[in-house]
Structure 1
Amino acid sequence: MTEHPPAPVLPAAVLWDMDGTIVDTEPIWQRSQVELTGRYGVEWTHAEGLALVGSGLERSGEILRDKGVDMEVEEIVEWMTDYVMERLRGGELPWRPGARELVEELHARGIPTALVTMSRRKMALVIAEALGERGFRVVVAGDDVDRPKPHPDAYLSAAAQLGVEPTACVAIEDSATGVASAVASGAVTVAVEHIVPLSEIGGGDVHLTSLAGVDVDRLVELTTPALTARGGSTGGAVPDPAHAADTEEVAR
């Protein structure tokens, strides 16, 4: 007997990471770390910068202070945030391939979106405001939650503010830390490769090398099996983050 594919399931909402997923800010963050450590004569390697991708800014500040940056953690966070914001405002925003188009199409199709980032709210609003009415209904930033990614708090907050079950949502991430956060929230998780190779990102339901060419119909096609397994739009039990769903490898 021939098995029919599951009927398409629209996500109740799509929850977006920002840095490295919506906009290509990770290289700017890393330049900020190099410049700041250089001011204090601290050696800072590219590998150390990569290790901070997806982490909360306070954690990054603690590591930089421990390395020898003679500033308080909050001062480090503010310095790096201002550094990145100044460069974003000084030129065209570095949108990641396919990301802006997908956000805008989700809006056109009536599927709500949220921005879920560990950057400070003042920086997240720069990105949110660039999309205007075609963008995000909700913004959850690093200074809005007590626990940063990989804890699920930010994703759970975004889903609650949208009035939807997290298990009925799709989350889009680019880092191991972010994927762990989204998986722990129960959301169907799409990992999109950027700075961190997919081979280093554990967990998630779908792995993509790019969002270029991924429209709403393609996103629904990719995530319907996992949404169906969670109970579709009605949601379901939040999975144990230690046991992520099997990854669907998709080469684009």
Structure 2
Amino acid sequence: MTTRLPAAALWDMDGTLVDTERYWMAAEEELVEAFGGSWSHDEALALVGSGLWESARVFQAKGVDLDADTIVNRLTGRVSEMLVEHGVPWRPGARELLEALREASVPTALVTMSLRSMADEIVSAIPFTAFDVIVTGDSVEHAKPHPQPYLQAAEALGVDIARCVAFEDSPTGLTSAFTAGAVAVGIPNILELDDAPSTVIWPTLEGTTVADVAALLTEEEVAR
């Protein structure tokens, strides 16, 4: 069977393209403690990959006496400050694979539950035109793990979601991509992905090639 390129590559951002989850966790801890509460590592892990407004309700239940929009903007602003202070921490092999896919003329979308302002900040740090479409948490009705974010990205690109490859680092994100119908690739970061719905788990993107990505589509076609 002839190996074909995917119709598109769909990328999660936090934890997949950039290693910013620790920034978010620090911002969450600061926020809860500012209102006299405590925030554990396990509680932070439980929110990885979740939508910001869904997370805001969790913080309100922990005693953060702010409306949801204010919580979202405060967390985003704090993470932005850390990006300025410490720089953008890229995940191993992610930016290199993204660039190789672009050079191979594979359409790409960023599918993140961060705000558009945060996505734009990360994208502006990439030294090439990285994405044709950007789907963010403030542009969808349903956040991950709902399939809508990935379906919306495929629709905006004008491609069949079944011929798209999605890269994710969290069970929440993988569930979104897999249930949308994409070839869902899990790259573990701070969470185990063994029990998450996925097409394949890759330990890293370092050294991964366009041919490796294309082979996933061929394997899926054979399996069908």
| 1:239 aligned residue | none
Matched, 1:226 2:211: no
Task: List gaps (5 residues or longer) in structure 2.
Answer: none
What is the number of equivalent residue pairs in this alignment?
224
- Rounded to whole Å, the distance in 1 between the matches of 2:124 and 2:108 is 14
In the TM superposition, what is the alpha-carbon distance from 1:223 to its structure 2 partner? Answer: 4.1
In structure 1, what is the equivalent of residue 205 of structure 2?
211
Gaps of 5+ in 1: 1-5, 231-252
What is residue 124 of structure 1 aligned with on the other side? 119
Match 2:185 to one of 185, 190, 203: 190
Instruction: Give the structure with higher Rg (CA).
Output: 1
Match of 2:70 among 55, 71, 75: 75
CA displacement 1:1-46 (0-9 Å, x = unmatched): xxxxx43131000000000000001000000011111111112110
Query: Compared with structure 1, are the counterparts of its residues 42 and 227 closer, same or farther at alpha carbon in structure 2 (3 Å cutoff)?
Result: farther
Q: Contact 1:103 / 1:134 at 8 angstroms: preserved in 2? A: no
Mapped partners of 1:72, 1:227: distance in 2: 47
CA distance in 2, matches of 1:214, 1:20: 17
Match for residue 18 of structure 2 among 23, 41, 46: 23
Question: Hey, what's the Cα distance between the residues in 2 that align with 1:105 and 1:194?
Answer: 22
Residue 183 of structure 2 contacts residue 199 of structure 2 at CA under 8 Å; is this kept in 1? yes
Q: Is the 8 A contact 2:163 2:217 kept in 1?
A: no
Paired position in structure 1 for 2:79: 84
Aligned to 1:143: 138
Out of 28, 53, 72, the position equivalent to 1:58 is 53
| Letter of the structure 2 residue corresponding to residue 100 of structure 1 | R
- CA deviation map 1:159-195 (0-9, x unaligned): 1111101111000100000000001110010000001
Post-superposition offset of 1:132:
5.0
CA distance in 2: counterparts of 1:227 and 1:50, whole angstroms: 35
- Asked if 1:166 corresponds to 2:161, the answer is yes
| Secondary structure in structure 2 of the residue aligned to 1:81 | helix
Q: Secondary structure at the match of 1:14?
A: strand
Shift of 1:209: 1.2
RMSD over aligned Cα atoms:
1.4
Identity %, equivalent residues:
47
> Does the Cα contact within 8 Å between 1:206 and 1:223 map onto a contact in 2?
no
Q: Is contact 1:9–1:228 with CA below 8 Å preserved after alignment?
A: no
- In the other structure, the counterpart of 2:147 is 152
Moved >3 Å (runs of 4+): 227-230
Which whole-Å CA distance do the structure 2 matches of 1:133 and 1:113 have between them?
13
> 1 CA distance for matches of 2:154 and 2:221?
15
Query: Do 1:23 and 1:96's aligned partners in 2 also have CA atoms closer than 8 Å?
Result: yes
Opposite residue 77 of structure 1, the aligned amino acid is V
Equivalent residue, structure 2, for 1:238: none
Pairing partner for 1:177 from 161, 172, 176 = 172
**Distance in 1 (alpha carbons) for counterparts of 2:68 and 2:221:** 40
- TM-score, scaled relative to structure 1: 0.85
Q: Identify which of 44, 50, 64 aligns with 2:39.
A: 44
Greater RCO between the two (CA within 8 Å, min separation 6)? 2
